[in-house]
Amino acid sequence: MRRKLTSGHAFVALGANLPFDTANTEDTLRRAIAAMIPLSQQLPILSGIYESEPKECPPGSPLYLNAVVGILPRAGEEPLSLLHKLQAIEQRFGRSRSGIFNESRTLDLDLLAFGDVVMDTVELTLPHPRAHERRFVLQPWLEITGNEWLLKGRPLGDWLLDCQDPPLSRLQEW
């Protein structure tokens, strides 16, 4: 049974294709979820774990594991403050940014949406400007919201039907 979503939920896409520490990539995602629990007023809503081909990545990039998490931000949380907390989690998990576009990473946490907030700043654009083009975002996001969540005025399922990315493999539940 899917938990009731509110207009105040925020959604975060998780992705990783390099192991961190002694953990494998799947364990890294699990540990990142645990690190996000304090950011939410209730237990996060989790999609399954999906495996995807690298998209627009350097040649030879390993496969990615992806998921989407819904959190209910704590009172007073703003999109930018949540983004900074997500970036701090990325850094704790060994994320480095060399400037290479879509390089392999130990952890990537993308803020997809923060309720119905629409913003476009140097630091953050909401909703995420490319979420509607990425099956590895749309499919797990749709899994936890159903077709009730609108992205740019359209249900997620409509975007997924239009998406030209290759099919994903759903690996398992958390």
Q: What positions carry a catalytic annotation?
A: 95, 105, 108, 110
What residues contact 57, with CB distance under 8 A and at least 6 apart? 102, 103, 104
Residue with tokens 């949380």: 77
Phi-psi bin for 133: left (phi > 0), alpha (psi -120 to 50), beta? Answer: alpha
What DSSP assignment string belongs to 9-66?
-EEEEEEE-S--TTS-HHHHHHHHHHHHGGGBSSPPEE--EEEE--SS--TTPPPEEE
Alpha-carbon gap, residue 80 to 130, rounded angstroms: 18
Phi-psi bin for 18: left (phi > 0), alpha (psi -120 to 50), beta? Answer: beta
Q: Would you tell me how many other CB atoms lie within 10 Å of the CB of residue 32?
A: 24
